[in-house]
Structure formats: C-alpha cells, structure tokens
Amino acid sequence: MRLVQLVMRIHTIGIDHKTAPIALLERLAIPAERLPEALRLISRPPEIGEALLLTTCNRLEVYVATERHSKATCHVVDTIAELAGVPAHAVWESASIRRETEAVAHLFRVACGLGSMAVGEEQIVAQVRAALRSARAASTAGPVLTALTESALRVSKQARTETRVGQAGVSLVHAALDVAATAHGPLTGKTALVIGTGTIGALAARLLRERGAGEIHIASRTLANAVRLAAEVGGTAWAADDWDPVLERCDLVVSSTGAQGQLLDADRLRVARKAAGNAPMVAVDLAMPRDVDPLCAGVDGVTLVDIEELGRRLAGHRASDDVARAEEIAAEQAAAFLARRLEGSVKPLIVALRTRAREVVDLELDRLAHRLPDLGDAERAETVAAVDRIVGKLLHTPIVRAKQLSATPEGRLYLEALFRLFDLDVSEANA
C-alpha cells in the first residue's frame, strides 16, 4: 500500500444556487429517507474510501476520501444523475469539482455560512452536523471525513464567536419574512399558515410570533408535530392536507417540507383566494424541491417568494468587515488542517524508512558475525555503533527535508516520490 492509500485525498463534487438553476437543484434534492441509499451507492467502488453528503435547500455536495480522483468524480456524478433521473451531462455542466486544498477550504467557508444565499446563516451549522451524523450512521464516514467535518464545525464556531458574521446576513427565513413584510406591510396581526414543522418551519413559526402575527396555523403530515409546534407559538394545528379553510383567509403562507410533490398548486390557490375576494397574500416557498407551484405567482393578489427570488434579493448582501475576518479565519484554519494532514503523512514515511534501514543493518551485521566469528565483543559493539551512526547520518537529511517539504503545496508529491524511491510499504511503518 503506497502513500496515496495511506492518506486518501479529500475531494468534493458540488452543485449549488450559484452554478445551477433552481429547477435542476429541485431534481437533485435527496430526501432524508434516501440518504442511506445514496451514501451506499456513492461509496460502492473501491477507489472511494469514505463519503459524506451535504444537502440543503440550495446545495448538494458530495465529499469523498479517495485514492483516485478522476474515477471517483465520474462515479459520483453518474450516481447523482441516476438518483435524480437526469442526464449525467446536466450534472457535469453545473458541478464544481474541488480537490484537497480547495475542498477543505470550501467546506470551512460553507460551515461558516460564507457560501450561503444569506451570508452567515445559522441553519448551515445544523445541516453540516446532520450530514456527518448521516454518513456515520451509514458507515461511510471514516477518520478522514470525520476529522474534516468536525474541524469545519469548530471553525464555524470560532468565526461566529470572534465576528458578527452570524448577523451579517440574516437566515433565509428572516429574509423571507422581510420580503413578505415589504410586499404586504407589517406582519403584526396577520394570519399565517406554516406548512412543515422541520427546522425551517419551526423557525418561521417562532419568528412570526416574535413579529406579532395574529393567528398562526401549523400544518404537518405528522399531526403530533403540528400540535407540539402550535402549542409553542400559541397557534392552531392542522393535519396534512386539511388547511383549505385557512388558505381562504390567511395573509401569509410559509412552506418548507421534504415532500416530493407540490403541496399547493395554482388551481387550489385560485379557488381559495377567490373565496377571499382576491385579497393580497404572500406565499413563501423555502422547500427544495418546491412545495408551491410556480404558476401560483399568476394568481390574482398573490406574491410568490421562492428560493430563486430570495437568491436574487440577497445577492451582494454582506457586512464587509465581519465577513472579511470570517473569511480569514476559514482560510487560516483550512491551511492549519491541511498542514496537520501532511504532517500525519510524513510520520509513516519516517517510520518506514527507519524500519527499512534497520532491516538492512541487521542483515549485514548478521552476515559479518558469520564471516568473523572470532570478533571480540568490544570490536563487535564498536562496529554496530559505527554502522548505526553512518545510517543515522545518511537518513538525517532525507528525514529533515521530508518534514520541511511536507508543509509545501507540493508536499504530497514529494512524500509519494520518497515512498516510491525507497520502495517503501506502509506495512513497514506498522512493523
């Protein structure tokens, strides 16, 4: 086993709101119940040692620890396309491929919220943590990706502690409600329907209460979840698809579920709004794939705000000083993480090199003992010491240089060259 096997390289294949249209992101979205299957399919070939899937409302990223970058990338792209039922070329056209250095820096930025539509958003932290939890449960996250993800989470905490990046860009939910208030006036006293009780739905309900909404109605496929959240915000719970009476009189709908089909179509909304005299209403769709039919934007009195619209509105929304410092923290810690990985890779080289030298010395000393059986103990000890000194001096410079070169951008190439030059095997490092 060579160095490339000892230290698998980190790669990521990612698609997000900056590289792909929302329609494609919808198709690529992987529901929670399919994550184990997706992880197993991605990690099936031997060249992929570990795999982790980060999926949010505006990104799908696959992180792998691999020995063979090109084969791993092709397999991941083909698997994503197969799972989504889209042509592989559509994935290739929108995918960003990042290797080791860029992949690590990218995840650190993502965990800090620096790659989000709403810069600094808090939800991404829970999503990164959930991605690691899912990969561990599927037995596809090993020491490489676990160390990477846990480090990214620590960097995120540092950035949010040392800067105000968490306030630099409000979460998508905050932004969505701000847009709703701009379009429909203050939310005080308004009647709202929240569809979905996950992280985003729960946050929306709490923020609506904080902003003084009048009636808050909570709908969920699991009634018990709706009842629990409704009790928390002083609202009313509705089962799955029974909320038409509310739809006829509400001022705001916020939907964020994991459903694979649209929950609110234009015809249904048109009937409900007609019953309300086409009174103004804002529909906020924070789901991926979408919960609300885009044709709802054409219903009289309805303003539709979806992920794509929020992306346009949030473009360029940055608090420069805090964001710049958070970028520095992410970059510094990414470099430190990579340095630790390279340092870890040079240790087996040194052990293997010394082990090989010890084997050669012992073999030659054994031959010498057979050739000179009458050699005295003092002379034999002096001979052994002299040989050890010679070997130590010969190895000193390569070992020092290996440590120095491991910290350079080309460090991995130098270390691999040394492994090949001395024909070393990792098993020697464990001898």
Q: Is 182 annotated as a binding residue?
A: no
Q: Please, are residues 361 and 386 in contact by the beta-carbon 8 Å criterion?
A: no
113: Cα separation from own chain's centroid: 11
Q: Is 200 annotated as a binding residue?
A: yes
Instruction: Write down the pLDDT at residue 320.
Output: 62
Q: What is the mean pLDDT of residues 392-404?
A: 78
Q: Is 80 annotated as a binding residue?
A: no
Q: Is 199 annotated as a binding residue?
A: yes
First-to-last CA distance in the chain?
14
Q: Please, are residues 338 and 144 in contact by the beta-carbon 8 Å criterion?
A: no
The verdict on whether 57 is a catalytic residue reads yes
Q: Which of 65, 97, 67, 68 minimizes the C-alpha distance to 80? A: 97
Q: What is the DSSP letter of 389?
A: H
The secondary structure of 285-329 as a DSSP string is E--SS-SB-GGGGGSTTEEEEEHHHHHHHHTT---HHHHHHHHHH
Q: Is 189 annotated as a binding residue?
A: no
Q: Please, are residues 192 and 253 in contact by the beta-carbon 8 Å criterion?
A: yes
Q: Please, are residues 22 and 56 in contact by the beta-carbon 8 Å criterion?
A: no
Q: What is the mean pLDDT of residues 348-372?
A: 82
Instruction: Write down the pLDDT at residue 171.
Output: 67
Q: Look at 314 and 223; give whichever has higher pLDDT.
A: 223
Cα–Cα distance for residue pair 72/47, rounded to 1 Å:
6
Q: Is 121 annotated as a binding residue?
A: yes
Cα–Cα distance for residue pair 328/22, rounded to 1 Å:
30
| The one catalytic residue among 57, 112, 250, 296 | 57
Name the token pair of 399.
Answer: 């070992």
Q: Which of 325, 425, 340 minimizes the C-alpha distance to 112? A: 325
Q: What percent of the chain has pLDDT over 90?
A: 42
Instruction: Write down the pLDDT at residue 396.
Output: 81
**Location of structure tokens 């939910």:** 173
Domains of the chain (ranges; CATH) run 3-169+319-340 (3.30.460.30), 172-314 (3.40.50.720), 342-429 (no CATH)
pLDDT score of 411 more than 50: yes
Q: Is 113 annotated as a binding residue?
A: no
Task: Write a three-state SS string for 41-62.
Answer: HHCCCCCEEEEEEEEECCEEEE
Q: Look at 385 and 193; give whichever has higher pLDDT.
A: 193
Instruction: Write down the pLDDT at residue 5.
Output: 40
Q: Look at 399 and 330; give whichever has higher pLDDT.
A: 330
